Chain A
Amino acid sequence: MTIDMTQFLQTFYEESFEGLDIMESELLNLDVGAADAETINTIFRAAHSIKGGSGTFGLSAVAEYTHVMETLLDEMRDGRRQVTQEGVDVLLRSVDVLRSMLTALRDGDELDGQGISDSQKELDTLLASGAGATIQETISETANQSDNDSVTEWQITFRPHKNMLKTGNDTVRMLRELCSLGDAKIQANLESLPLLTELDPEESHLGWIIDLSGEVTESQIKEIFEWVDDECDLKIVPLKPDSVEEVSIQDAPQPEVIDSQDRRTATDRRTGDRRKATTESASIRVSIDKVDELINTVGELVITQSMLGQFGEAEDFTPEHIEKLRDGLGQLERYTRELQESVMRIRMLPISFVFQRFPRLVHDLSGKLEKKIELRMSGEGTELDKTVMEKIGDPLVHLVRNSIDHGIEMPAMRAASGKSETGVVHLNAYHQGGNIVIEITDDGAGLNREKILNKAIKNGLVSANEQLTNEQIDDLVFSPGLSTADQVSDISGRGVGMDVVRKNIRSLGGTVEVKSSPGKGSTFSIRLPLTLAILDGQLVTVGKETYIVPLVSIVESIQVKQENVNRISGRGEVYKLRDDYIPIVRLYHLFGIKPRSEVLNNGLLVVVEAEGHKIALYVDDLQGQQQVVIKSLETNFKKVEGLSGATILGDGTVALILDISGLVTLTKTAGVPDLTVIDGGIVAA
């Protein structure tokens, strides 16, 4: 029977990456000197599982590498080895190496031979430095088997101890196996059989003498009795010895060793790979509670359905029925909504999945920068959609690095300004409305507004004589090309800037802002929608079509006052709203459909905002607000500029969802000048 082992690899990789995360966080939890036995055991189990799995699924390099880790941890677990800071650091690094090995294997990339052999050496050195067994021991143990002393006839004397049956071993099985090896003559020895009245049927009382002839080796016979070695008296005597050969043990199987020479070519891509590993996994773990809830709701739905079904069968339909029908439909609506919520909750994971990587990050960074930092986390149980979670990891890492690198001061400087030497970085998450809010707070120096402003002026982001509020200055940190670090350090300020952070968060439909007070610290707040699959939408009509405007981007909806409409030559129309001039986008024109009216007074302007810019959408009318399920246009049709997706309305028609930031970009680049030509008269259609 051949089985394709690769089918289990996906699961193996997933659980191994989980295992590595556990190892990492538990290693960080480990109290050097007074290590908790259960913590070490948890770390050991993770390493042990990875080793067992990798061996079974043919990833010998991983198995070999993990073996040393496992041995180290085993010694720590048994108290044969002290848990030292050095040991923890080496293990932490090996977790990284292992993660990159698994990532490379999963993605079919080359292994980083240099990194692996370096780390292996480090582990070996550590292993050799302490007490306890070494790997060599186990290798020789398995290799030490000679298998060729072939004899043609054996006499086996086998007497099980009384309690052998109690380990589930059965004499019949062993006799049957002996028979399969060759020609067996079996004789029972009834000597110690007690009287029937005294016989305990759960004990074994018989002995056996077996004459076995055939091409059988001693080790084949021994193997049959391997499990009961210490539960029986066993004698295996050759009757007619064949020419017994002296066999050398030299060609015993050697465990595969990673050849560092061969694999030295791969470059160190550890950090990049690691990030990939945390973002790509196709399956999802769901707690039983959520599934039960789902099943419960479905059960209720079935009951409601059968209740409603009765009306179809009723002979005559009385007004009484209408009342019940209405009740039933009400229930149906409620359970459908519950079902929708439960299904959405399946995709929801606690934010701790992202938070858990920060203890390590802070541990490493504080060591590197020689700063003292305490990481506090709260609201780890706050849930958000898996897709959102995967994409928020990197921006969060950037913000935390930023707080540590730029925010928290050096211990001496902190002490000088009367603060505790240890800086605090606080990660907090909570739900607010349909959003999740994630805050990164540090008690560092706060933003240096003077420096930011100077740099912004130098880069031409603002003009020198512009008067900006503190908030506006703080907000400049999200502008492209503005790194406030004096020197580009290793930690942050490398290519990816805060502008990318903001861009990524916006692409998720979220916002990021900063509040800072000099000398006291800064707080970055990220606000994200809980899910990307459902959206609160405002339905608007243009002609016969219905469009959906995401509720979050709507600033206000206004009736047009003629005197506020201005035309700017070559730039289309703008609407003066208080002190702002907002470009008007006529949706009917953009999508090439016939509106109810082209006269602005007859319709409405929906003012929307994206990427810091406002535009006013001209629509015929506003309809209701409702939650809509987003269907991708790209997968079902193709990408259309200005649209982010589609949905199906209650009456079965398809409504397109407007992509506000796309529309803003369209307005800024091309679209608008065209309008002036077509809409020659603004009021006269």
Chain B
Amino acid sequence: MAVKILAVDDSASMRQMVSFTLKGAGYDVEEAADGQQALTKAKSGKFNLVISDVNMPVMDGIALIKELRALADYKFTPILMLTTESTSDKKQEGKSAGATGWIVKPFNPDQLLATVKKVVG
């Protein structure tokens, strides 16, 4: 069964890029535009990996990670944050919320794939 990935970002172009890259590598990708949408999608189907932006309207990435970790299905699921170098304190905040790791923006498709491969094999 294909690996299912949930890509969360409020920026449509980033979402497109992430989703296009991952789909090209054979992953099954669904998109969400904010934490709330992502949470709803996550509850309705099991994802093997969640990649989420931090700064988003409605529900931000940190809150999303906390919510996901509280769900039995996502207790151990890898969750990667998309961060920028200027928000290094956000990494720590994300980690304590339960994030597995991070991908630093800007990144190119190869970096994205390499990181994803690391966590989902």
B121 in the interface, Cβ–Cβ < 8 Å?
Answer: yes
B84 touches A48 (CB 8 A): yes
A227 touches B101 (CB 8 A): yes
Considering the chains assembled together, what is the distance between the CA atoms of A138 and B85 in angstroms?
A: 7
- Contact string against A for B residues 32-60, beta-carbon threshold 8 Å, 1 for contact and 0 otherwise: 00000000000000000000010111000
Considering the chains assembled together, what is the distance between the CA atoms of A177 and B75 in angstroms?
A: 23
8 A Cβ contacts from B44-102 to A: 53, 55-57, 69, 75-79, 82, 84-88, 95, 98-102
A11 touches B113 (CB 8 A): no
Considering the chains assembled together, what is the distance between the CA atoms of A684 and B19 in angstroms?
A: 76
A402 in the interface, Cβ–Cβ < 8 Å?
Answer: no
Q: Which residues of A contact B77 (CB under 8 A)?
A: 168
Known: A15-B13, A74-B87. 7 other contacts (CB 8 A): A1-B113, A7-B20, A11-B13, A48-B55, A49-B11, A55-B84, A168-B99
B12 touches A15 (CB 8 A): yes
Considering the chains assembled together, what is the distance between the CA atoms of A108 and B78 in angstroms?
A: 41
| Stretch from A63-71, A299-307, A597-605, A637-645 forming part of the interface with B | A63-71
Considering the chains assembled together, what is the distance between the CA atoms of A202 and B45 in angstroms?
A: 22
Residue from B13, B84, B109, B113 within 8 A of A51 (CB atoms): B84
A591 in the interface, Cβ–Cβ < 8 Å?
Answer: no
Considering the chains assembled together, what is the distance between the CA atoms of A324 and B10 in angstroms?
A: 51
Contact A42-B57, Cβ < 8 Å, known A74-B86, A177-B118: yes
Considering the chains assembled together, what is the distance between the CA atoms of A74 and B25 in angstroms?
A: 36
Considering the chains assembled together, what is the distance between the CA atoms of A67 and B87 in angstroms?
A: 12
Return the chain A residue nearest B11 by Cβ.
Answer: A49
Contact A56-B107, Cβ < 8 Å, known A49-B10, A168-B78, A227-B102: yes
Q: Which residues of B contact A7 (CB under 8 A)?
A: 20
Return the chain B residue nearest A10 by Cβ.
Answer: B13
A15 touches B11 (CB 8 A): yes
Shortest CB distance A111–B (Å): 19
Return the chain B residue nearest A12 by Cβ.
Answer: B13
Considering the chains assembled together, what is the distance between the CA atoms of A9 and B82 in angstroms?
A: 19
Shortest CB distance A231–B (Å): 8
Q: Which residues of A contact B12 (CB under 8 A)?
A: 11, 14-15
Residue from A56, A173, A177 within 8 A of B17 (CB atoms): A56
Considering the chains assembled together, what is the distance between the CA atoms of A63 and B107 in angstroms?
A: 13
B14 touches A53 (CB 8 A): yes
Q: Which residues of A contact B109 (CB under 8 A)?
A: 1-3
Shortest CB distance A44–B (Å): 7
Considering the chains assembled together, what is the distance between the CA atoms of A67 and B107 in angstroms?
A: 16
Residue from A12, A42, A141, A230 whose CB has the most chain B CB atoms within 10 Å: A12
- Contact string against B for A residues 150-168, beta-carbon threshold 8 Å, 1 for contact and 0 otherwise: 0000000000000001111
Considering the chains assembled together, what is the distance between the CA atoms of A167 and B10 in angstroms?
A: 23
Q: Which residues of B contact A478 (CB under 8 A)?
A: none
Residue from B13, B79, B110 within 8 A of A1 (CB atoms): B110
8 A Cβ contacts from A62-98 to B: 63, 67, 70-71, 74
**Which of the four size classes fits the interface of chain A?**
35 or more
What residues make up the interface of A, taking CB atoms closer than 8 Å to B? 1-3, 5, 7-9, 11-12, 14-15, 42, 44-45, 48-49, 51-53, 55-57, 63, 67, 70-71, 74, 138, 141-142, 165-170, 173, 176-177, 202, 226-227, 230-231
Shortest CB distance B62–A (Å): 13
Q: Which residues of B contact A52 (CB under 8 A)?
A: 11, 14, 53, 82, 84, 105-106
Q: Which residues of B contact A44 (CB under 8 A)?
A: 55
A142 touches B106 (CB 8 A): no
Residue from A49, A142, A168, A173 whose CB has the most chain B CB atoms within 10 Å: A168
Considering the chains assembled together, what is the distance between the CA atoms of A170 and B82 in angstroms?
A: 20
Considering the chains assembled together, what is the distance between the CA atoms of A2 and B25 in angstroms?
A: 11
Considering the chains assembled together, what is the distance between the CA atoms of A473 and B43 in angstroms?
A: 68
Return the chain A residue nearest B115 by Cβ.
Answer: A227
Considering the chains assembled together, what is the distance between the CA atoms of A226 and B56 in angstroms?
A: 25
A166 touches B86 (CB 8 A): no
B121 touches A173 (CB 8 A): yes
List 16 A-B residue pairs with CB atoms under 8 Å apart, sorted by A's residue number.
A1-B113, A3-B109, A14-B12, A15-B12, A48-B84, A49-B14, A52-B53, A53-B14, A57-B13, A141-B85, A166-B69, A167-B95, A167-B99, A168-B100, A169-B100, A173-B118
Q: Which residues of B contact A227 (CB under 8 A)?
A: 95, 100-102
Considering the chains assembled together, what is the distance between the CA atoms of A177 and B121 in angstroms?
A: 10
Considering the chains assembled together, what is the distance between the CA atoms of A57 and B13 in angstroms?
A: 9
Shortest CB distance A657–B (Å): 38
Considering the chains assembled together, what is the distance between the CA atoms of A5 and B11 in angstroms?
A: 15
Shortest CB distance B87–A (Å): 8
B79 touches A3 (CB 8 A): no
Contact A166-B75, Cβ < 8 Å, known A11-B13, A57-B13: yes
B3 in the interface, Cβ–Cβ < 8 Å?
Answer: no
Shortest CB distance A165–B (Å): 6
Shortest CB distance B42–A (Å): 13
Residue from B13, B17, B77 whose CB has the most chain A CB atoms within 10 Å: B13
Shortest CB distance A89–B (Å): 24
Considering the chains assembled together, what is the distance between the CA atoms of A73 and B109 in angstroms?
A: 29
Q: Which residues of B contact A55 (CB under 8 A)?
A: 84, 105-106
3 A-B pairs with least C-beta separation: A55-B106, A227-B101, A12-B13
Q: Which residues of A contact B13 (CB under 8 A)?
A: 8-9, 11-12, 15, 53, 57
B76 touches A8 (CB 8 A): no
Shortest CB distance B12–A (Å): 5
Q: Which residues of B contact A170 (CB under 8 A)?
A: 76, 78, 119
